[in-house]
Structure 1
Amino acid sequence: MNRYAALLRGISPSGRNQSNDQLRGVFERLGFQKVGSVLASGNLVFTSPETELPALEQAIERALTADLGLASQVNVRSQPELAALLASDPFAGLSHGRGSYLTATFLKDVPATPPSATHLGGLTEVVGYHARSRAILAVTDNSEPGRTPDFMIWLEKNYGKGITTRTWLTVGRIVKKLESL
């Protein structure tokens, strides 16, 4: 069995039809095994004999719509992909905290031009791109109250709506949960 994480876009624990129990139920009805949640924001882990990630993503997206009325974009990554991302240590020497967010934005498709290091409005810096996991890695300065970066707008403009962002801490939690399956 292959171990996977499904990263759902736009899931909120307070949202109608978006509880972890409901989401896990959809995955179990699809026949996935060892279904579990990581936090309460649309991170599910599971095992499946399926090896084609686009087929998994499409099946999950259809089931979420049919079962719960959710039109969520889903990005599926394998345990080896996420473990390789974590092991690459793209944020060496940095720590995630209130003033500085370390994030990984997972792209649905391989970009025509992989992103390179760039500063976005002085608040966000793209520090790299991990090709194997199709993740843009960024550091956002949140130390100035009231100022919010337009990073998500930039991401959607350049890479479409088939993206979802997780903090680096969440990526670590997902990998840990995958290792326990």
Structure 2
Amino acid sequence: MTTYVALIRGIGPGDPRKSNESLRGVLESLGYDAVRSVISSGNVVFESDPDDPDAIGDRIEAAWPELRGFTATTIVRSREQLESLISHLPFGDLPHGRESYQLVTFFKHPVATHADPPADMALKVLGLVDGALCTVSDTTVTGTPDAMGWIQRTYTKELTSRTPLTLERILKKMG
């Protein structure tokens, strides 16, 4: 068995169709094992026979409208993929917090290169690591920059982002 995480876009605790229990129920109905949630923002860890993570993501994504009545981009990564990504994150000693907000953005479809945001945006792109875009926002300069808006306009809306701290929590839950 391989351990995976489904990173689901646009999930929050306010909609009962998108609760952790509901999300887990969909993965369980699809036959995945050891299904468990990590915080209430669309992170579901599960086990399955080894398979292509993209194919698993497509299967789960196709189930949302049928089983829960919503659509949501779903990106799946194996434990090994997540471990590799975390070990190569380019944040260094830069702290993550209210003044220096780090994000790792996962894309449904690979992007080949990264673009630089406008100079006045207070957002720095640190690069692509294993296909994920690593950014840091300096919120002391202009408040919170519209990082997600810029990323969506520049790349695609078929993406989802997590902080490195959330990724560490997911990896811990993966065992």
Q: How far apart, CA to CA, are the structure 2 residues paired with 1:50 and 1:58?
A: 15
Tell me the number of residue pairs that the alignment of Structure 1 and Structure 2 aligns. Answer: 174
Q: CA RMSD in A?
A: 1.5
1:62 corresponds to which residue? 62
Amino acid at match of 1:85: L
More deviation in 152-161 or 29-38? 152-161
TM norm structure 2: 0.93
Q: Residue 105 of structure 2 corresponds to which residue in structure 1?
A: 105
Q: Please name the residue that 1:141 is paired with.
A: 138
In 1, the alpha carbon distance for the partners of 2:20 and 2:141 equals: 33
Matched-pair identity in % = 39
| Cα distance, 1:89–1:54 mapped onto 2, change above 3 Å | closer
For 1:127, the aligned partner's letter is L
Counterpart of 1:150 in structure 2 is 146
Give runs of aligned pairs for residues 111-126 of structure 1, distance below 5 A.
111=111, 113-115=112-114, 118-120=116-118, 121-126=120-125
CA drift of 1:136 comes to: 0.2
Tell me the distance in 1 between the aligned counterparts of 2:173 and 2:71: 26
| Greater helix proportion | 2
The answer as to 2:169 corresponding to 1:173 is: yes
Give the TM-score, by structure 1 length. 0.90
1: CA distance between counterparts of 2:86 and 2:157?
Answer: 24
Structure 1, unaligned runs of 5 or more: none
Deviations 1:18-50 (A, max 9, x none): 110010000000110111111000001101114
Answer whether contact 2:117 2:150 (CA < 8 A) is retained: no
User: C-alpha separation between the residues in 1 aligned to 2:167 and 2:103?
Assistant: 9
